[in-house]
Amino acid sequence: MKAKNTIFYYLSLYVLLMLLFSCSTTKKEAVKTVPENCITSKIKFRLANFDKQGLLREDDLKNPIDYEFCIPNTPEALNKINEIDSSIKPTKSKGRTKCNDDYVLMMGNSYGKDIKKILCSLSQLDYITEINQVYWE
């Protein structure tokens, strides 16, 4: 009888300790989904749906995206884009964004980058009016 009481005592103590330590007493901080000073109205897709690897979460899928925007065709503007992300490259097309004749279409990819930071930095440039997702056909 004494052995059964000892087993019951330790089992009860174990369950009580498990319950005690499984309770969280710390407050969870809200995760900021979009960096401050971001002009999200220029970004024509949902920035909050990107993860840390630059993958866009849609339904049950995660994929990188290509994006495009227009900038003045000047060395200063091209250098500024290069400072923000050197993988963003100019193209010869006008794209769906329909760049003016004195502008150049720039194209980038989200994969493996802090895409929220990059896109928000781009959105702060006065000469960029919109950033669009590229849909390859």
Q: Over the stretch 26-66, which tens digit does the pLDDT of each residue have?
A: 433 334 577 788 999 999 998 989 999 999 998 889 999 99
User: What average pLDDT does the segment 89-101 reach?
Assistant: 89
Backbone angles phi, psi at 118, to 5 degrees: -60, -50
10 domain-assigned: no
66 domain-assigned: yes
Please tell me the pTM assigned to this model: 0.73
118 domain-assigned: yes
129 domain-assigned: yes
Q: What is the per-residue pLDDT for 96?
A: 82
Question: Helices 115-123 and 75-84: crossing angle, nearest 10°?
Answer: 150
Q: What is the per-residue pLDDT for 26?
A: 43
34 domain-assigned: no
Residue among 135, 131, 119 nearest 69 (CA): 131
The residues, any chain, with a CB within 8 Å of residue 121's CB and separated by 6 or more, are 84
Structural domain boundaries, residue 56: 40-133
Provide the pairing of β-strand 89-91 with 66-72: unpaired
Q: What is the per-residue pLDDT for 98?
A: 87
Task: Indicate the number of domains in the chain.
Answer: 1
123 domain-assigned: yes
74 domain-assigned: yes
Q: What is the mean pLDDT of the chain?
A: 85
What CATH number has the domain bearing residue 61?
A: 3.30.70.260
Percent of the chain with pLDDT over 70: 76
13 domain-assigned: no
